[in-house]
Amino acid sequence: MSGRDSGSKPALLVIEEVAGKCIRQLSLGEPYGGSQEIDLVINFDDGTQLAIDIDMASRLSFEIEHLAPDSKGEMEPVKKSRKGSIRALARQDGNRGKSKSGTKGSRA
């Protein structure tokens, strides 16, 4: 991942690990109606998975996990998950990311 953060300006977190991968399935899920926690799961053709748990209880918090099937075919994390706001995660990643700031607001 790489990120960009500058105070109160837009923060951007690029998940570089998935670039070039082909998507088999992308979905958003919630455990029950009105839940404050949802997940975004992307399954890739190479058998790996990107899972992002989004906690919306107060400020948005994201837990990002990369998974791959183990010898028994069960999905296991391939690296330690990371959790925090986009800004906090971007700050951890430093300023290596390319800015996209402000582009999405006008598209929504």
Partner 1 sequence: MLDPKAWETINGFTANAKAATERLGKLGVYFPHNKQQLADAAARIEAECDATMKSLLTEALTGAGSESAEPKAKAAAKPARLMIEEASGKRIRQFYLEELSTESRESYLAVEFDDGTEIVIDINVDVVSRPSFGIAHHVLDEDGDVRPLKERIKGSISSLVEQQDGRRPFAREVSE
Interaction of residue 83 with partner 1, rule CB under 8 A: no
Q: Fill in the amino acid letter for 45.
A: D
Alpha carbon distance 35, 21 (integer Å): 30
Interaction of residue 73 with partner 1, rule CB under 8 A: no
Residue from 36, 81, 92, 95 binding partner 1 (CB under 8 A): 36
Alpha carbon distance 42, 38 (integer Å): 14
Residue 38 sits at the vertex; the CA angle it makes with 37 and 39, to the nearest 5 degrees, is 135
Residue from 51, 53, 62, 82 binding partner 1 (CB under 8 A): 62
Interaction of residue 78 with partner 1, rule CB under 8 A: no
Interaction of residue 47 with partner 1, rule CB under 8 A: no
